[in-house]
Structure 1
Amino acid sequence: MENFIHLITLLKQPSLIKNYKPIILLSHMRANTSLIGHILGSNSEINGYYEQHIGYYSWKSLIRQKLLYCKQHDLKEKSKYMFDKVLHNEHFVSPTLLNNRHAKVLISIRKPETTIPSIIKLYQKVDPSHVFSTLEGAADYYIARLQYLVTISKQLNNYFYYDAEQLRDNTTECLAGITDYLKLTTPLSPEFKTQKLTGVGNAGDHSGNLNSAKVKKVTTDYSEYDLTQIDIKSINSLYEDTLSQLKSNA
């Protein structure tokens, strides 16, 4: 059935046969990834803005990505990139695929004091029974994800690292760096478009912040969460070590 749907999609959009260069963001949940996805996806050269929730094993995965995206979206005329983000260890990403000379890789992390409460707050809203709605579950996810990002960074020939906080706190410089790395003709802009799946289902941020269609310096109060229950000192140490290694390996 899935193959039949993909065939219909291909017939509707023959431009699917064109090769698009992949842009893959490797990060973790609640690291402003929906924001950068919308900024990238609003650029005329880039297709894609949300997480496809798939793995990337070979060139066949890139074809599947296009087919899944085009079930609900049209490819932009004269565009050359396909964007996706991978935020979970359960989705395999092949270093060999990312080391292809046409691939572009972004890596970004966010500090634990804001990330972990943000994960809990999200899951308490959308799925209170999920382990990520607890301090221990959110912390375990964060720790495992940072460990993975260090591991894969050592296997990559080239990638661009940026701090997740910088996307909001120093937007101009952050976007200029990404624009230069991707070699975009049109610079990335802090003003973006809301999309068909903005805030819908499992396509990303449900907070409503994206509805403003521009980068906002958002400050959220997480004082209700007692992070001392999860040895936040050790997690901060892991974050600092991860940050150092990701910058060193870039």
Structure 2
Amino acid sequence: MTTLRESIRHLKNDLIYRYYHYRISKSNYPDQVFMKKEPYKVLFILSHMRSGSSLLTHILISNPAIKGYGESHIQYESEADLKSLMYKIYVHNQEFTNLKDLGKLRMNHTYLLDKLLHDKKLLNKNLLKKNNFYFIFLIREPQRSLMSMLDHKPHWTQEDAVTYYTQRLLSLSEYAQLINDKQRSFLLNYEQLINDTEPVFDSLQNFLKTRESFSENYQVLNTTGKRHIGDFKENIRSGRIIRKPRPLNFSISPNLLEKGIKSYNDCYEILHQYCQIINHS
């Protein structure tokens, strides 16, 4: 019986793979799949580690217009790499366990989502100019970010964390200036996501033009909480925004913290100039 069950499972998985492979490979256009009228839009979360990007990812992909799962680790050299993103999103990070899951075979989403937390992921900065690429810049104040990095990477020194943080904020500032299009760029910080949730959701819906709104409750996936995909701490598995921060027993030296604060303020000022911001009206 076990052998028969395994054979059926392998057959099912093979058929699903063949279906996706056919639709993805049949189209010669990097942002399209066969039998879908409209090309995909690409939605990148441009951020840094320990910024709340996993929480934002789950909130976004719980909207039926957006498909993704977390950090793909694809290095983007050209639009052709979107095919790799499609395979990862549709083929490798979905579970099909019952007939209800067949609804996942639909590929009618508006956006394909990935999050980029490191400079080495966007190898071709000309992609920032593509009209079908949209960007949400997410940043977080330095003290909590740096403490969380030290908790996440115990082999890092304070200097390692500050060096990564300041360099990444510089890169985000550069990206925003290269995009130079408020219709495709949106600025958000972690504190707004947690404490100003409804205006954030309304502004995101307006920015992305989604039919359905966003919610504090999100879908927990089979990839939720897995290392190398996103946050693997317990809170992310709750399926909702948790506002009480985890206790972190780390300290940052005043000189390094001051450097982080300056980088954050400089970055925020530039992003505020080049991106759409939260609408409180």
TM above 0.5, yes or no, is yes
> In 1, Cα distance between the equivalents of 2:257 and 2:107?
48
Q: Normalised by the size of structure 1, how large is the TM-score?
A: 0.87
Q: Is 1:56 aligned with 2:79?
A: no
Match of 2:247 in 1: 221
Is the CA contact (8 Å cut-off) linking 1:28 and 1:142 kept in structure 2? yes
Aligned partner (choices 232, 235, 260) of residue 209 of structure 1: 235
1:62-211 aligned within 5 A: 62-69=82-89, 70-73=91-94, 74=104, 76-124=106-154, 129=155, 133-158=156-181, 159-211=185-237
> C-alpha offsets along residues 116-148 of structure 1, whole Å, 9 cap, x if unaligned?
000110123xxxx4xxx3211111110110111
Cα distance change, pair 72–233 in 1 and its aligned pair in 2 (3 A): closer
Contact 1:190 1:214 survives alignment (8 Å) = yes
Q: Counterpart in 2 of 1:233?
A: 258
Instruction: Structure 2 unaligned segments of length 5 or more: list them.
Output: 1-13, 25-32, 95-103, 276-281
**TM-aligned CA deviation for residue 10 of structure 1:** 5.7
Mapped contact 2:159–2:256 kept (Cα < 8 A): no
Q: Do the aligned partners of 2:128 and 2:178 also contact (CA within 8 Å) in 1?
A: no
User: Whole-Å Cα distance in 2 between the matches of residues 228 and 76 of structure 1?
Assistant: 51
SS in 1 for 2:148: helix
Which stretch shifts more, 197-206 or 9-18?
A: 9-18
Please state how far the C-alpha of 1:15 moved relative to its aligned partner: 4.2
* 1:12 maps to amino acid: Y
Cα distance in 1, alignment partners of residues 256 and 107 from structure 2: 50
* Aligned residue identity for 2:139: I
User: What TM-score, normalized to structure 2?
Assistant: 0.78
Partner of residue 19, structure 2: 12
Instruction: Mark the CA change 1:166 to 1:78 in structure 2 (over 3 Å): closer, same or farther.
Output: same
Identical counterparts, % of pairs: 26
Deviations 1:152-202 (A, max 9, x none): 111003211111221111111112111110000011111110001001131
Deviations 1:41-97 (A, max 9, x none): 111111103000112222101111111222232554532210000000121253432
Match of 1:4 in 2: none
Q: CA deviation at 1:149?
A: 0.7
Residue 230 of structure 1: CA displacement?
Answer: 5.0
- Deviations for 1:215-243, whole angstroms, at most 9, x for unmatched residues? 12122334x32312652112211211111
- Is contact 1:38–1:193 with CA below 8 Å preserved after alignment? yes
1:44, 1:76 within 8 Å by CA — same for their partners in 2? no
Larger Rg: 2
Counterpart CA distance in 1 for 2:200 and 2:188 is: 7
Letter in 2 for 1:151: E
Count residues with an aligned counterpart. Answer: 236
Q: CA RMSD in A?
A: 2.0
| Offset at residue 8 of structure 1 (A) | 8.2
C-alpha distance 8-229 of structure 1, shift in aligned 2 (>3 A): farther
Distance, in Å, in 2 between the alignment partners of 1:49 and 1:230 is 37
